[in-house]
Amino acid sequence: MFPGVMDVDAAIRTAMESGGFSVPAPNQKIFKEQCAFCFKDPHGPDGLYINLRNYHAFCKQHAVIYANHTNYNLWVQFESTKVAVDEQRSDGEPTTKMTKLTIDAEPKYEFEDKYSVVIHPEYDNKFSNVQGIPEIVDTIKTINESTSAERLALLTSTNNGWDNEIKLITRHANLEQSDEGKVLALSGWNCEVEDCGLSENLWLNLTDGAIRCGRSQFLANGEKTRGNGHMQDYYNATRFPLVVKLGTISSNLESIDVFSYEEDDAVIDPNIVKHLMHFGLDPEKMEKTAKSTLEMELDMNEKWEWARCTEDGAMLEPIFGPGYTGLINTGSSCYMNSVLQALIQVDSFRKRYSDQALQTMLKCPIEMLHNDFNAQFAKVIHAMLSGDYSSEADPTHNHIKPLQFKRVAAGSHPEFSTAKQQDVEEYIRFLFENVSKQNQNEDIDPTNSLRFQTWNRFEDNASGKVRYTEQEEIILRLPLPEGIMKPTEKENHFTVDMTDAVQACFSKQFVEGYKSPITGEPKGANNTLSMKTFPDYLILQASKFAYTMEGVQKKLDVEMEVSETLDLSAFRGHGKREDEELLPKDSAPPADAPPEIPANVRAVAGDLMIMGFQENQSIRAAYFSNGNAEVATNWLMEHLEEPDIDAPFVMPTGTPSARGEIDPNLVDSIVEMGFSRHQATYALKQVPTVAEAVEWLFTNLDSIPEESAAATGTSSDAPEASVTESASKKSFTDGSEKYQLIGIITHMGSRPDSGHYVAHMLKDGKWVLFNDEKVALSQDPPIKLAYIYLYKRVD
């Protein structure tokens, strides 16, 4: 106890001289918005305690622990109280009054900040009058006036954006328009096809100004738009690709509905004003009178899907307690939030990052804590499981904002470090790779309970000889081939039985064009996937996304009849059988033999030669474009001036790192055989055909760099760890092949990198909806619509 002023000053001086104080440097980072070990802030009870040795902030509970651990016992307690301000507008009305266009109105607030000096362990003794110690007075002033280190990190991050539906910029931005001088009225249009005359659902072709009706589309409640598809017919006849929907044109250029038939998607036309003015249509003089295609699709599909997945309209009962903590969306972070809600269902993640949370954070040097992967992961997982942020009695603190974890986990990754929406499957792979790297020297790698090994059996059809390859995986991808999709009464809507999808995953996949290294016959090969190990937890992915022939990713409208219990014992694999003969390890042609130019490269080269390009130019362009005609044409136009463009082309024997864009349809073909998208893409950068890529993978799988290194472009003097080397550092659980469904992640939107994600988890026998910060008991979990399924092994 410190009864007098002199005693207080003396006590503070003693704490300062014992090493508990350092003068803040001019560029000192001062943390004052959140506890270093948890998510408590200065607005809660007791506020935060800022350590005067290193200027990191802690809640009272963790301040005590940290002071005992370090002997840094001098603190400034920072309490910030939110006070509502009922400001008056210039017309005398209070700003909190609802106005005609207001959807919701929140009062404005000010914050009253209070600073006190506290000496460990006497936290109830707060000293505000410290004028006798100028160093402390100046320090408190610096703390008050500084921008918090947390805010500075946010301001310098690359985050920007939200869950918007992403449109592509059309490749026809520089569209050549006709010079016939056609000028259109600003309204009153009709379809120009004889005997049609429709005055709604009209489209303007931006090449020549033709006006035609669109196709009939379903709307909500079973209604349909009127349309005879005459613009589609016009495109088929003319190949004029770019059209705009009349009635959507206005000064709000973002709302103008532009569609590219060639790209088979709604697009952005950066020159839309110029293209419209060519026909006398000035957006500034026009008003929007019709819904865009996207708006109608939302009415028909996504609003239905959104309502099903978020259980919109149902009176859901909120649920509170440990494991029911909501996560605030920090800008298209719903994919990350959904993954975190799934991971706290996994025993190994709870043990590593919750049970060992305090140990992990105390072991980390304080200056590294805010950028340490394991410390930030532990902070989030422990908070989610603590129940401290899920209390019915305190609704203002019923969620956390994992902003720092998102930044640290993403690192310099070109996609995950942004605030763009991401594919949750890709994020799981990226996150697990990071977890494994960061736990190489720890007792627990929590991903081991989800990792598994597969066998790939590759059989040369001509010789009957085989090759077996072991492969590591964390997600079992369920293909959805057309043969198992059953159409429903709804247009382009299908149902699939999960049992059929599982069977398709492990069925034989024919590799067309494979030439036997034994007989030389091009009879193809068969590749079959099977399970070598069965993990404690199994993640399944429904392959709902496919690429069109134009390379545009589209979502399949599919509902899956899900098996909530799975028995995969029929798909446990084996190695080489006694009666099987192995293919030679190196089945490549002799080193002195130049590689053959693949048939698909020659075919595209032939198309280019018909267009007037020379043979060597055409072959070179086709090769460096992976046999993709459109990419090859663009490549050729960009490289025509190069001095060796006409030189005789010889197939390279090394790694063709300069290859162009990879055809996503070729990637999908290889992924369906059990390889990851990263492996398939990497292989297609080495060789141009699916058959060659599969063969290359079987003989070179160990040489593929890890996905996270390839994505970030990181490099060092050390050689890249191979898949085999990485796998040797990991262990795999194995046991019963029977599983029970315990969670799903559902996607709403047309592409995995846009839209919204939510999670539903089975907890204590009840399904729970996790929609960012909203947590409630589920009445009707959308199991049939899920994108990711989480199963747990049962005996």
Mean pLDDT of 365-369: 94
The pLDDT of residue 65 is above 90: yes
Helix, coil or strand: residue 108: strand
Mean pLDDT of 745-770: 90
- The dihedral built from the CA positions of residue 325, 331, 335 and 340, taken in this order, carries a sign that is negative
141 pLDDT band, cuts 50/70/90, is very high
658 pLDDT band, cuts 50/70/90, is very low
Mean pLDDT of 192-207: 93
Co-location of 607 and 524 in the same domain: no
Q: Residues of the chain with pLDDT > 90: what percent? A: 49
Which of 260-264, 280-284, 391-395, 653-657 is the most confident on average? 280-284
Co-location of 19 and 151 in the same domain: yes
Who's near 380: CB < 8 A, 6+ residues apart?
340, 353, 400, 402, 405
Co-location of 311 and 434 in the same domain: no
The pLDDT of residue 363 is above 70: yes
Q: Angle at the Cα of 503 (from 499 to 506), degrees rounded to 5? A: 145
In angstroms, the CA 394 to CA 247 distance is: 49
598 pLDDT band, cuts 50/70/90, is low
The pLDDT assigned to 167 comes to 61
Cα dist from 666 to 24, 175, 264, 604, 788, whole Å:
58, 29, 19, 15, 23
- Read off the DSSP letter of residue 16: I
Summary count for the chain: helices (H), strands (E): 23, 30
487 pLDDT band, cuts 50/70/90, is very high
Residue 334 catalytic?
Answer: yes
* Residue, of 254 and 104, whose pLDDT is higher: 254
Instruction: Let me know if residue 776 belongs to a domain.
Output: yes
Residue list for the binding site:
191, 196, 213, 230
Mean pLDDT of 373-381: 97
Which of 356-370, 434-448, 514-528 is the most confident on average? 356-370
Domain at 287, CATH number: 3.30.40.10
Co-location of 71 and 56 in the same domain: yes
What are 355-364's contacts with CB under 8 Å, separation 24+? Answer: 356/444, 357/37, 357/381, 357/382, 358/37, 358/65, 358/382, 361/36, 361/37, 362/65, 362/66, 362/69
* Residue, of 193 and 512, whose pLDDT is higher: 193
Instruction: Let me know if residue 730 belongs to a domain.
Output: no
Instruction: Let me know if residue 245 belongs to a domain.
Output: yes
**Range with lowest mean pLDDT among 286-290, 320-324, 378-382, 479-483:** 286-290
Mean pLDDT of 670-698: 77
Co-location of 427 and 482 in the same domain: no
- The dihedral built from the CA positions of residue 172, 174, 176 and 181, taken in this order, carries a sign that is positive
In angstroms, the CA 617 to CA 636 distance is: 7
Dihedral class, residue 755 (left if φ above 0, else alpha if ψ from -120 to 50, else beta): left
Mean pLDDT of 166-171: 73
The pLDDT assigned to 264 comes to 82
* In contact, 695 and 587? CB cutoff 8 Å: yes
Residue where a domain terminates, one of 701, 728, 753? 701
The pLDDT assigned to 586 comes to 60
Co-location of 384 and 405 in the same domain: yes
Look-up: residue for tokens 């994919």? 335
The pLDDT assigned to 614 comes to 82
Co-location of 675 and 535 in the same domain: no
161 pLDDT band, cuts 50/70/90, is very low
* In contact, 416 and 157? CB cutoff 8 Å: no
Cα dist from 778 to 144, 319, 453, 739, whole Å:
45, 10, 34, 22
Look-up: residue for tokens 């910029």? 169
The pLDDT assigned to 719 comes to 31
The pLDDT of residue 611 is above 90: no
Mean pLDDT of 28-32: 93
Co-location of 350 and 418 in the same domain: yes
Instruction: Let me know if residue 753 belongs to a domain.
Output: yes
Who's near 428: CB < 8 A, 6+ residues apart?
339, 474, 475, 539, 788
**Range with lowest mean pLDDT among 126-135, 353-362, 524-533, 600-609:** 600-609
DSSP 138-149: HHHHHHHHSPPH
Helix, coil or strand: residue 543: coil
Q: How many CA atoms lie within 13 A of 314 on its CB side?
A: 17
Mean pLDDT of 674-703: 76
The pLDDT assigned to 1 comes to 45
The pLDDT of residue 685 is above 90: no
Instruction: Let me know if residue 90 belongs to a domain.
Output: no
* Residue, of 490 and 741, whose pLDDT is higher: 741
Instruction: Let me know if residue 612 belongs to a domain.
Output: yes
The pLDDT of residue 652 is above 50: yes
156 pLDDT band, cuts 50/70/90, is low
pLDDT in tens, 407-462: 999 988 888 888 788 899 999 999 999 999 999 887 789 999 999 999 999 999 99
Co-location of 612 and 696 in the same domain: no
* Separation of first and last alpha carbons in the chain: 60
Closest to 730 in 3D by CA, of 437, 468, 529: 437
Who's near 662: CB < 8 A, 6+ residues apart?
626, 681, 684, 685
Catalytic residue among 56, 62, 756, 760: 756
The pLDDT assigned to 688 comes to 65
The pLDDT assigned to 16 comes to 93
Instruction: Let me know if residue 60 belongs to a domain.
Output: yes
Look-up: residue for tokens 């979502």? 555
Mean pLDDT of 453-482: 92
Mean pLDDT of 629-657: 71
Catalytic residue among 35, 38, 309, 334: 334
The pLDDT of residue 218 is above 70: no
Mean pLDDT of 700-712: 62
**Range with lowest mean pLDDT among 115-119, 131-135, 524-528, 662-666:** 662-666
Instruction: Let me know if residue 444 belongs to a domain.
Output: no
The pLDDT of residue 769 is above 90: yes
In angstroms, the CA 101 to CA 725 distance is: 62
98 pLDDT band, cuts 50/70/90, is very low
The pLDDT of residue 695 is above 50: yes
Co-location of 19 and 154 in the same domain: yes
pLDDT in tens, 307-355: 666 666 567 888 999 999 999 988 789 999 999 999 999 999 999 999 9
Tokens of 295: 């708006």
* Residue, of 761 and 128, whose pLDDT is higher: 761
Look-up: residue for tokens 């599982």? 502
Tokens of 572: 């446990």
- Looking at every residue in the chain, the average pLDDT score rounds to 83
* Residue, of 782 and 621, whose pLDDT is higher: 782
Co-location of 635 and 549 in the same domain: no
The pLDDT assigned to 707 comes to 64
Helix, coil or strand: residue 667: helix
- Read off the DSSP letter of residue 454: E
pLDDT in tens, 177-186: 998 889 999 9
* Residue, of 152 and 409, whose pLDDT is higher: 409
The pLDDT of residue 795 is above 90: no
The pLDDT of residue 699 is above 80: no
Supply the range of the domain harboring residue 633: 599-639
Cβ neighbours, 10 Å, residue 261: 18
* In contact, 521 and 562? CB cutoff 8 Å: no
**Range with lowest mean pLDDT among 93-102, 128-137, 561-570, 725-734:** 93-102
* In contact, 230 and 216? CB cutoff 8 Å: no
The pLDDT assigned to 716 comes to 31
Helix, coil or strand: residue 748: strand
Helix, coil or strand: residue 721: coil
Q: What residues form DSSP beta bridges with 112? A: 81
Cα dist from 753 to 143, 268, 333, 425, 757, whole Å:
41, 17, 11, 10, 10
Q: Where are the alpha helices (DSSP H) in 36-79?
A: 60-70
Residue list for the binding site for Zn(2+):
191, 196, 213, 230
Who's near 623: CB < 8 A, 6+ residues apart?
597, 601, 649, 651, 656, 659, 688
The total domain count for the chain is 7
The pLDDT assigned to 312 comes to 64
Residue 756 catalytic?
Answer: yes
Q: How far is CA 125 from the centre of its chain?
A: 49
Co-location of 380 and 257 in the same domain: no
